[in-house]
Amino acid sequence: MAGATVPEATGAAVTAARHAAGHGRWVAAADVAARITWATGLTAGRPADEVLDLVYTLVGTSLATQESVPAAFALLAAAPDDPWLACRMAASAGGDTDSIAAITGAIGGACHGAAAFPERARATVSAVNGLRLDEVAAGLLAVRASSP
């Protein structure tokens, strides 16, 4: 995302989801690109308590891609300049909170950088889950730097 804003990242995700819809195996489910667009419009500019209710009751918070991915983007649309708040909302949304918070954090981190999240929170997530997030991020940046 190289400094993209959350709305720019959302646009890129919608484009990627539209492209991906033509590949793989078809399943009877809602269109992910359309749901990302709808869900972000639903929550943008709304207060956190309303957002949590809308995401849980309308967008959905299950394991299903057509719910969890739009939910993450919807939470970021509500707090585009505060990915840490969006992650905390994701953790409180109900349902598959760990996956939705991870997606939310990954997108928010790609847009705002690791400094957007408290060091203590990053350390806790890494330690509890046995993750080496700094190494993963450095590796992804190296791949991006070597791409044409």
Q: For residues 32 and 63, what is the distance between their CA atoms, to the nearest angstrom?
A: 13
Q: What is the pLDDT of residue 56?
A: 97
Block residue for tokens 């991906």: 20
Ramachandran region, residue 31 (left: φ > 0; alpha: ψ -120 to 50; beta: rest): beta
Cα–Cα separations (whole angstroms), residue 78 to 24, 48, 71: 31, 7, 11
Q: What is the pLDDT of residue 1?
A: 67
Amino acid code (one letter) for 73: F
Q: What is the pLDDT of residue 22?
A: 87
Q: What is the pLDDT of residue 11?
A: 97
Q: What is the pLDDT of residue 101?
A: 96
The answer to whether 21 and 31 have CB atoms below 8 angstroms apart is: yes
User: What is the chain's pLDDT, residue by residue, as a tens digit (148 residues)?
Assistant: 667 999 999 999 999 999 999 898 888 889 999 999 999 999 999 998 899 999 999 999 999 999 999 999 999 999 999 999 999 999 999 999 999 999 999 999 999 988 999 999 999 988 998 988 888 878 887 887 887 6
The answer to whether 43 and 81 have CB atoms below 8 angstroms apart is: no
φ, ψ dihedrals at 63, nearest 5°:
-70, -20
